[in-house]
Structures are given as structure tokens and as C-alpha cells.
Amino acid sequence: MAYQEPWKRVFSELIELRGGALQVAQYMGALSGLKRSLDDWIPYSQLPAYLSLIADLGLAIELDCVFSRLPETQQSAFGSRYAPTTRAGGRSLSSKEVRALMNGQPCDGSNSDFHFAPGDEVHVVVAKQPEWALQTLGAAWYPLVVDNRIITKPYGDAFRLGSALGYPECCVRFFMEHNQWSTQNQFAETLKASRALSWKANCLAKNTRWMLIFHMPCAFDCPATLEYSGLVLEEVRRFDPAYANSIEAYLKQTVLVSNERLAFTLGSARKSKSNRISYINVKSLQEFIAVRDPLHDDYFNALSAGDELLIEDGTIFIWKNGEFVRAIETSCDQGIAEVPLVLDFVEG
Ligand SMILES: [Zn+2]
């Protein structure tokens, strides 16, 4: 409680500078050292103020590369259904830019050392210890599309990155084995490996302000994950009890998930005798994502048109007031494998 007042000031500034409240709990975890490091994307014009804030918080930072928006005509770049980051151009920061940033020079166009374009964001790594930030930077890769060919990171670096970010080792190994977007659905594998579902392992809120964990657990009752997320939540509670309570309430929901980019909460979901699931409303868990999966709106509209669903043989059948209204056909052979699942985190 000692730093409750400062957090309000500092964190409201952080939210403003980074342009949204995603990852706030992760910053709280990093401040306490519970979370070994985190990575984030900061609008370039906010970087001088952000760097100064990070220094005030006593955190170390490493600057990685620049993410630039692709022209409108390239929004459906080759590979966008197969790899997570194909909608941004990338370039390295020049040493002049890094020096100017570290010296607190403004990014307002008056400094010819900077080569930013409107919409550019800088990928950064933040940690309590400078060496933790450096280790994460050294292992942080993104798949690149160069001349319509996808270049992926070295396989072993997934383990280095997961460890550097402080994810449980069991979950990192599981991720490496099962996170193959075009051939496997990791949530289906995670569900198979789970004996129970705990809201503390609900990673599906990772694109919302109620994100508690960012990593994908090896099971929805993975002991290392439950311990870690419990500690992070306690840390959040020290900063802001009301925020901790709202995170907990948000995570205790029923979710329909088909893949990492297609996840929706089902309000007041109940299972009927016929195994159908009734619900009163649908909300997207990709609300804060700028570029959504091409199938997102179709899922959302179809689910919103109904109040009851049944998943059978990979198809989602939807009814409204007992009348059949729609079916969502899913596929496992066209880009990211879709395996529709309903995950109930309400009681767990
Ligand atoms: Zn695990």
C-alpha cells in the first residue's frame, strides 16, 4: 500500500504514453521483479517521455526495432494467416536515433537524426534488472516476410525468449511443441492436458486491459502458472485493489475460442440438458486489437445473432429463441487451425 498514490499518477501517465491500458498488470509484475521482463510497443513521439517515466520507476530498458504500418494495399500481406506479425514493416533503430532518444531529445520532427514515419512504434523490453532486459532483447525475434517467403526465428530461441520473459518452463516447452498455427491448435492441446480449468490460467484476456498472464499455459490448471498469476494478482492488489478485483471478475467468464485470434466471452453461459450452451451476450476479446482476424466479424455477428450454441464435429450451430439461425463452419487446413471450444472459467 506504500505506493498506492504514486501508482495512480505514474500508471495513468504510462497508460497515456503507451496509448492504452494493455499490460498494466505486467508492468506491476515487472516493477516487483515477479515478472522477469516484458516487451511493449510505444508510439515513437511518446518515447522521450516514456523513457523518462521508465527511469523514474527504476526499470531498465532496451530499445529493439521500429514497427511501421504497411501501406493499405499490403494489409493482407502474404502469410498473414500463418504468422502473427505480418502486418508491419520493420527496421532497426540507427545508433544516432538510440543516442538521441537516450539523451531525451524530442521526436517532434525538429531532429534530423530521427527517421520515423507517422504511426511508427518502437518495440522495447523493460525489466527490473538491466541484464534481464538484455537477455530478452537477445532472444526476441519476429517472423519476417521477405519477398513472399516467411523467415521464422531459430526454434531454440523460443525457449530462450520464454525463459527470459519469466514464463514457467513447462509452459514454454508445451508452447514449443504445440504452437504451430497452421497444423495445431494449442488451446485444444492445453484443454486435453487439463484436469480442471482455473480462472488464474485464463490467458484469453491477453488482448484486454484485464490481462493477468500473457503466456499460454501448458494446462488450465498448470501449478506453476497458478502460483505465478496468483502472485502477480497480489502485486496488482497492492497497487490498486479495485483493479485486482475487476481483473478477477473479468477472468471468471465463459469463453468461446477457436484460435488465438478468435475468442469471445459468452455472458451468463449455461449448459442445457441437450448439451447446448445458452448465453445472453457476446463480447470480443480482440476489442483492443487494431487489425483483427478476417474471420473475426463473421464469428462475432453469427454468435451475436443467437442465444444458444452447440459445437459438433468442429461446426458451431447457433439458435435464437429455439430457432436455428446460423452455423459457423471451421477449417484446419486454411491458415490458422480453428478448433472451437467453450472454456468455462466461471467456477474454477
Ligand atoms: Zn505449465
CA distance 67 to 53: 21
Q: pLDDT for 135-167, tens place per residue?
A: 999 998 877 777 777 777 788 888 999 999 999
Kindly report which listed range (110-124, 181-195, 270-284) carries the lowest average pLDDT score: 110-124
Q: How many whole angstroms from 103 Cα to the centroid of ligand 1?
A: 41
CA distance 329 to 5: 50
For the record, the C-alpha cell of 283 comes out as 463480447
Q: How many whole angstroms from 171 Cα to the centroid of ligand 1?
A: 4
* Over residues 178-188, mean pLDDT: 86
Beta strands in the chain (DSSP E): 38-43, 60-69, 88-92, 121-127, 144-146, 149-151, 254-259, 262-267, 270-271, 277-278, 281-284, 308-312, 315-320, 323-328, 341-344
* Integer CA distances (angstroms), 247 to 214, 234, 257, in order: 13, 11, 19
13: left (phi over 0), alpha (psi -120 to 50) or beta: alpha
For residue 290, the model assigns a pLDDT of 67
For residue 72, the model assigns a pLDDT of 61
Q: How many whole angstroms from 89 Cα to the centroid of ligand 1?
A: 33
Which of 176-190, 191-205, 228-242, 280-294: highest mean pLDDT?
191-205
Residues having C-beta closer than 5 Å to ion ligand 1: 168, 170-171, 218, 222, 224
Domain ranges (residues) in the chain: 36-157, 256-344
Terminal-to-terminal C-alpha distance of the chain: 28
Q: How many whole angstroms from 226 Cα to the centroid of ligand 1?
A: 9
Q: Is the pLDDT of residue 1 over 80?
A: no
Predicted confidence band at 83 (pLDDT cuts at 50, 70, 90)?
A: low
Say if CB 52 and CB 115 are below 8 A apart: no
For residue 264, the model assigns a pLDDT of 97
Q: pLDDT for 227-272, tens place per residue?
A: 999 999 999 998 888 889 999 999 999 999 999 889 999 999 999 8
| Dihedral sign from CA coordinates of 217, 220, 224, 227 | positive
Q: How many whole angstroms from 198 Cα to the centroid of ligand 1?
A: 13
Q: How many whole angstroms from 77 Cα to the centroid of ligand 1?
A: 34
* Over residues 50-63, mean pLDDT: 94
For residue 150, the model assigns a pLDDT of 75
Q: How many whole angstroms from 288 Cα to the centroid of ligand 1?
A: 27
For the record, the C-alpha cell of 281 comes out as 451476450
Q: pLDDT for 328-344, tens place per residue?
A: 999 887 778 899 999 99
Instruction: Return the ∠ at Cα 86 (arms to 289 and 141), rounded to 5°.
Output: 100
Kindly report which listed range (69-83, 163-177, 185-199) carries the lowest average pLDDT score: 69-83
Q: How many whole angstroms from 223 Cα to the centroid of ligand 1?
A: 7
CA distance 277 to 229: 29
Q: How many whole angstroms from 341 Cα to the centroid of ligand 1?
A: 20
Q: How many whole angstroms from 26 Cα to the centroid of ligand 1?
A: 18
Q: How many whole angstroms from 30 Cα to the centroid of ligand 1?
A: 20
Q: What percentage of the chain has pLDDT greater than the value 90?
A: 56
Q: Is the pLDDT of residue 200 over 70?
A: yes
For residue 250, the model assigns a pLDDT of 95
Q: How many whole angstroms from 107 Cα to the centroid of ligand 1?
A: 41
Give, for 126, the enclosing helix (H) or strand (E): strand 121-127
Q: How many whole angstroms from 191 Cα to the centroid of ligand 1?
A: 12
Predicted confidence band at 3 (pLDDT cuts at 50, 70, 90)?
A: very low
Q: Is the pLDDT of residue 22 over 90?
A: no
Q: How many whole angstroms from 37 Cα to the centroid of ligand 1?
A: 18
Predicted confidence band at 82 (pLDDT cuts at 50, 70, 90)?
A: low
Predicted confidence band at 74 (pLDDT cuts at 50, 70, 90)?
A: low
Q: How many whole angstroms from 65 Cα to the centroid of ligand 1?
A: 30
CA 88 centroid distance within chain: 17
